[in-house]
Amino acid sequence: MPKQKGAQKKQQLKSYKLKHINRTIQEGDAVLMRSSEPGKPSYVARVEAIETTDARGSNARVRVRWYYRPEESMGGRRQFHGAKEVFLSDHYDLQSADTIEGKCKVHSFGGYTKLGSVGNDDFFCRFEYNSATGAFNPDRVAVFCKCEMPYNPDDLMVQCEDCSEWFHPSCIGTTIEAAKKLEHFYCEECSPEPQDLDNSISTSKNTDAKVNTKRNLEVSKTRNKHAKRSG
């Protein structure tokens, strides 16, 4: 009577060479994984472990922790969510390593705002997300402007020279193009007279000190002044 084969033992791997993309992955790497829905963007995940039951170390599977895009969360995408923002979820899964399409980089929020340029494989994460309840951690974040919205690192903002608060051009009645040319700006609370922002055009080379996109706005400046629930 032939002997029955026992269950194959799992072998944990420290790294694994993906021959189909000629890249090596290891625990902690952020990766792009093939979507199960045609036409949808790749899923973003963090590799938690790599295993195989093949003695030769092939046919590996990866245990991943999924990053959710804002539109995949219960609350959906909101105005303050950045185009490259993802949430680190509590959703784990076991997938074939063959579904990995490439490696990517998920930056901290602060690290992302300091990037000189943003590539296709750059993302950022400032929240952890509970996929069962829709709750976020942290559940409160700093807010800016008269609209009291959390900071979207893709949006240009203008800083008041008196109180140092930041404002969206649309919230102060001007355009992005006009805001980029401002020489001075004082918010309604700090300015004794209304300003004609569209005609307050600067010829100074130092204008960028008061107008910023995601490159150098320091969110910590008002973190203790304002807070709002996230999500």
DSSP string, 98-144: GGEEEEEEEEEHHHHHT-SS--TTEEEE--EE-TTT--EESSEE-EE
111 close to 126: Cβ distance less than 8 angstroms = no
CATH 2.30.30.490 residue ranges in the chain?
11-137
Q: Which of 141-150, 182-191, 196-205, 217-226 has the lowest mean pLDDT?
A: 217-226
Q: Categorize the per-residue pLDDT at 123 as very low, low, confident or very high, splitting at 50, 70 and 90.
A: very high
pLDDT of 147-193, one tens digit each?
999 999 999 999 999 999 999 999 999 999 999 988 889 998 998 67
pLDDT, residue 149, reads 93
Residue 212 DSSP SS3: strand
Q: In angstroms, rounded to a whole number, what is the distance separating the alpha carbons of residues 157 and 219?
A: 12
Q: Categorize the per-residue pLDDT at 59 as very low, low, confident or very high, splitting at 50, 70 and 90.
A: confident
Residue 198 DSSP SS3: helix
pLDDT, residue 58, reads 73
Q: Which CATH class is domain 140-229?
A: alpha beta
pLDDT, residue 55, reads 66
152 close to 145: Cβ distance less than 8 angstroms = no
Among 3.40.50.1220, 2.30.30.490, 1.10.10.10, 3.40.50.300, name the CATH number for the domain at 11-137.
2.30.30.490
Q: Which of 70, 61, 67, 57 is nearest to 96 (CA)?
A: 61
Residues 6+ apart with CB under 8 A from 152: 79, 80, 81, 82
With 50 as the cut, is the pLDDT of residue 74 above it?
A: yes
- The pTM assigned to this predicted structure is 0.80
Q: Categorize the per-residue pLDDT at 69 as very low, low, confident or very high, splitting at 50, 70 and 90.
A: very high
State the amino acid at position 69 in one-letter form. Answer: R
With 70 as the cut, is the pLDDT of residue 207 above it?
A: no
Q: Which of 229, 217, 38 is nearest to 139 (CA)?
A: 229
Q: What tokens appear for 74 in the block?
A: 């219960």
What number of CA atoms fall less than 13 Å from residue 173's CA on the CB side? Answer: 11
114 close to 134: Cβ distance less than 8 angstroms = no
Q: Which of 48-57, 76-85, 137-146 has the lowest mean pLDDT?
A: 48-57
With 70 as the cut, is the pLDDT of residue 7 above it?
A: no
Secondary element (H or E) of residue 176: helix 176-179
pLDDT, residue 216, reads 43
Q: Phi/psi at 224 (nearest 5 deg)?
A: -90, -10
pLDDT of 30-49, one tens digit each?
999 999 888 899 999 999 99
Distance linking the first and last C-alpha atoms of the chain: 62
